[in-house]
Structure formats: structure tokens, C-alpha cells
A = this chain, B = another copy of it.
Amino acid sequence: MAEQLIGAIEAGGTKMVCAVGTADGKVLDRASYPTRTPEETLPDLVGYFKDKDIVALGLAAFGPVAVNPSDPRFGRILNTPKIAWQNYDFMGELKRALNVPVGIDTDVNGACLGEITFGAAHGLTDVIYITVGTGIGVGVCIGGQMLHGMLHPEAGHVAVQRAEGDTVPSTCHCHDSCFEGVAAGPAVQLRLGEDNNILSNDPAVLEQEADYLAQGLATYVLCYSPQRIILGGGVPDHTPELMPLVRKKTLEKLNGYLSTPELDNIDTYIVAPSLDGNQGVLGSIELGRRALEAAC
């Protein structure tokens, strides 16, 4: 019997990455389409998978999106700034068009699941995945299940304490001093100024960024008690100096309050992503596999 093929969609705000792979994490094919309106985009996605003989599909979607099966809006994109996508039944339309079980989660939960199933957090049950790029997103796995609850975590918007004298405006339109508003890529760029776009070249901004990241991570350690933290996204990926600083400062923020073997080994506790940018696609394959299992 040929191995069963599972489809994956990593649905982002600017592009949709489609892929086909197997449950053991082999990616056999992929393609990318620009994110347009649902009416324009759905045919691209369905067209890609139509003749690929997939038995299930996993969808890791931009949010806000209803990912809790007990939510009457389950599978729908919610009040996104992308007006055309508001209330769109993304999961339902894919299910109807492709006639296979579809699993859905947020983009960051998908990436977290990819790292747990195939990557840097393999075999762990309590893991968070943080991406610091144009925004800050946090995927959360608790006791082996992805965290949904009322909606899904929006932990990138927790408040942080501004450094004295840091009056650079927040880039978040809702919060003056939230983690994303002071520490995501656009906020870093504001601090660097027009003449520099390399964080490593500005030691003062680098130090401050590490401090904000450590504040966020300390909050997550206290709230989630994760067994491992994966810290990725454009900002840390392109700034190798950040990781050791963030590790040191996270411990400083906790200030000895918690004592665990994991924190004693901080270099293996806070780590970079491991899957060469494929964690979202691989997590989506695992979402598809789980949807198939649940349907059987």
C-alpha cells in the first residue's frame, strides 16, 4: 500500500503555503499563493490539492480564528482587519471542496505542534513557541494539547515595563506598552532609526530588545510552566547575539523564584527553532493526521 498523503496549508496574511507530505514528516511537494480575497484564494488552494489524493488536510491559519470545536463559529476567521476574510468559514469551505477531514489551528499553534512532533521539542508535552517578527505570536501546548480556550492565546500582547526614558511609540494600535508594541520588528526598526536596519549594529537597542524579550519570556515561564521555550521569528533569527542575552536576562527577571532542572540548563530551555522554517507546514501535516485519526 502506498503511504497516505496529508495536505498542509500555512495560511498567512500575505501568502498561503500549500504542501503535501506524510505523517512521519516528509514534505513531498509545496507551492505558494498570494493571499487575496477568499473568493480568489480558495480556487488556488483547492486547485493545488485537487489531484493530489490527500486523505486529510491541516490548516494553520492567521487569526483571530475560531479553533475551539465547542465554539459555534468553529473553523471561521473572526474579526480580522482583512475585511474580506471576516467571518469566512475557511475550514468548512475547504472540507466541502476537498471532502477530507480538516484539522485547524492558529499559525503559531501549528508551528508549535511542528516543533513538538518533529523538532526541538520532540516528545515534550508543555511547550511554547514564540515568533518575533512583524508581530509577536505565541503558540502554546499544555499537557500535549494545543491551548484554545475562549478563543486562543494572544500572549504577544501582555504588558511589559518600559525602560526608563523609552518613549518610542508602541506599534500596537491597542496597547501603549505591550510586548508586541515595543519588541516586534517594526518597534525595533523605530528604535534603530532610518539609517540602520541591523539590530546587531546597535548595542544599546540590542540590549533593550533582549530585556523586553526576557520580560515576555519570564511572564510565560510563570504562567505556562513550559518544559521548553522555542524563540524564533525574523528578529531573533537574524540577531544571533540575542539568544544568550535573552537567556541571561530571563533568569534575572525570575530572580531565583523558581528552581527547576530545566532552568538550571537554560541553554537547552530557551532554544531556537529547529526545522528550517518548515515548522508551520510540518505542524499542519500533524493537524491533518490528527483530524484523520479523530475521523476514523
- Chain A interface (Cβ < 8 Å from any Cβ of B): 64, 70, 78-79, 125-126, 142-143, 145, 147-155, 157-161, 174-175, 177, 215, 218-220, 222-227, 253-260, 262
Q: Min CB distance, A120 to chain B, in Å?
A: 16
A226 touches B149 (CB 8 A): yes
In the complex, the chain B residue whose C-beta lies closest to that of A220 is B223
Q: List 8 A-B contacts (CB under 8 A).
A: A126-B148, A149-B224, A149-B227, A150-B260, A151-B225, A159-B253, A174-B257, A175-B257
The copy count of this chain in the complex is: 2
Q: Min CB distance, A193 to chain B, in Å?
A: 26
Point out which of A145, A154, A222 has the most chain B C-beta atoms below 10 A from its C-beta.
A222
Q: Which residues of B contact A157 (CB under 8 A)?
A: 222, 257
Bound form: Cα–Cα A219–B215 in Å:
13
Q: Which residues of B contact A154 (CB under 8 A)?
A: 222, 225, 257-258
A159 touches B258 (CB 8 A): no
Task: Pick the contact of A262: B143, B150, B175 (CB < 8 A).
Answer: B150
Task: Pick the contact of A142: B79, B142, B262 (CB < 8 A).
Answer: B142
In the complex, the chain B residue whose C-beta lies closest to that of A138 is B223
Point out which of A148, A155, A224 has the most chain B C-beta atoms below 10 A from its C-beta.
A224
In the complex, the chain B residue whose C-beta lies closest to that of A215 is B159
Q: Min CB distance, A99 to chain B, in Å?
A: 29
Q: Min CB distance, A294 to chain B, in Å?
A: 14
A161 touches B158 (CB 8 A): no
Q: Which residues of B contact A155 (CB under 8 A)?
A: 222-223
Q: Which residues of B contact A253 (CB under 8 A)?
A: 159
A159-B218, A159-B219, A161-B159 given; A150·B257 CB < 8 A:
no
Q: Which residues of B contact A226 (CB under 8 A)?
A: 149-150
B149 touches A126 (CB 8 A): yes
Bound form: Cα–Cα A148–B226 in Å:
9
